Structure 1
Amino acid sequence: MKRIFGFGRRKSHPSLSSGRAGGWGYLLRDQDLGKIHRAASRGKVAKVQQILLLGKNGVNDKDKKNRTALHLACANGHAEVVTLLVERKCQLNLYEGEHRTALMKAVQCKEEECATILLQHGADPDIMDASGNTALHYAVCAQHIPIAAKLLSYNANIEARNKDDFTPLLFAVHENKQQMVEFLVKKEANIHAVDKAKSLLETPPF
């Protein structure tokens, strides 16, 4: 497949591109965290279980940054903690302070196992952040094809449009993420989708 050209690169959505230096995980400060958040962020399964049993924190309690234990476990790749929390019937689709769900955070941090657990337990892949991005837009930004494939296997909307009118495919072209462009085209994303600038994707020869 020849390279597909669409439109010039612009600055990414703040919601997709912001993150602490060197990674996408949360900046953690002890003064922001409750007991359960601290334990979840460090992957301490037994401690999280003990805190819940003693009633020191509830499973959906939020820290000072509006993050749940699930957000923190997903961002740090602690799949065992994620499993414990979902078994305790935590709410899967809550937003944190930056208007991201735990699934979005798992995808952004390239934590495929955590994302898979969430999807298996019914997390909604089509919820949007403040900029209209879905988990699939986050997978495009991370250029993580296995996670994108997993999202699509759970019926994520391949044509979801964010507030810039970008579908995941248009966003992949916009960000010059060629492998993701080719993957989404193979998954039958609409190559005739038009963004706000009326830029049309070229049809690739096969």
Structure 2
Amino acid sequence: MKRIFGLGRNQIAPSVSSRSLCGADGSGYLLRDRDLGKIHKAASRGKVAKVQQILLLGKNGVNDKDKKNRTALHLACANGHAEVVTLLVERKCQLNVYDSEQRTALMKAIQCKEEECATILLQHGADPDIMDASGNTALHYAVCAQHIPIAAKLLSYNANIEARNKDGFTPLLLAVDENKQQMVEFLVNKEANIHAVDKTKRLSPNQA
């Protein structure tokens, strides 16, 4: 296993998109009241009864977006409000829509390490293999969060362990590049391809 972490001469600096995914300052949403509709405010604050009332009165639809293209589901997931997430999915909200950063609610839940919210989404059919603008899947987000239980949950829902982002990074290559040892070991144990090569044709460190 040590060879996987050996920094050979073939190693390069992290790619821009990988750095932006794993090196972002804070993972939650910046919330401004002027950007939010009634349902978005209620969902972001975990007010289940208020969300239900808004939907019953038709003040907002379950899939309405705010000025940042976020649905109530995005905001509930980012803030860890599992009861609101449950209400929204029971109301048949769309699970795989993008916000303005081209992230799904599942990606946002994982980025914010909200395992319960991510689990609810997966149980109701959220697609773990949808990609963001940089080609990252939910499993890439789990790697950056170094959240092994979420990664295991994704794989149990048939997430593609060999998915490549636009830089050619599989989740394993991303874990190696970010020096996330526990995640590397987990993915290797899950039989991720240790011979993967990114688009620069760099070998995995264990091949150097």
Per the TM superposition, whether the score is higher than 0.5 is yes
Give the TM-score normalised by the residue count of structure 2: 0.92
Which among 16, 22, 25 is matched to residue 21 of structure 2? 16
Which among 35, 38, 43 is matched to residue 35 of structure 1? 38
Q: C-alpha displacement at 1:202, in angstroms?
A: 4.7
Q: C-alpha displacement at 1:9, in angstroms?
A: 4.0
CA distance in 1 between partners of 2:185 and 2:39 (Å): 42
Residue 47 of structure 2 is matched in structure 1 by 44
Q: Deviation string for 1:50-100 (max 9, x for gaps)? A: 000000000000000000000000000000000000000000000000000
Which among 168, 171, 179 is matched to residue 168 of structure 1? 171
**Match for 2:110: what amino acid?**
V
Give the TM-score normalised by the residue count of structure 1: 0.93
Deviates more, 1:29-38 or 1:3-12: 3-12
Q: C-alpha displacement at 1:43, in angstroms?
A: 0.2
Higher helix share: 2
Residue 155 of structure 2 is matched in structure 1 by 152
Aligned length: 202
Q: Deviation string for 1:101-127 (max 9, x for gaps)? A: 000000000000000000000000000
> Is 1:74 the counterpart of 2:77 in the alignment?
yes
Q: C-alpha displacement at 1:16, in angstroms?
A: 1.5
Q: C-alpha displacement at 1:11, in angstroms?
A: 5.1
**Match for 1:16: what amino acid?**
L
CA distance in 1 between partners of 2:21 and 2:51 (Å): 29
- What runs of 5+ residues in structure 1 fail to find an aligned partner? none
Provide the secondary structure at the position in 1 that maps to 2:2: coil
**Match for 1:165: what amino acid?**
G
Residue 53 of structure 1 is matched in structure 2 by 56
> Over aligned residues, Cα RMSD in angstroms?
1.6
CA distance in 2 between partners of 1:101 and 1:175 (Å): 23
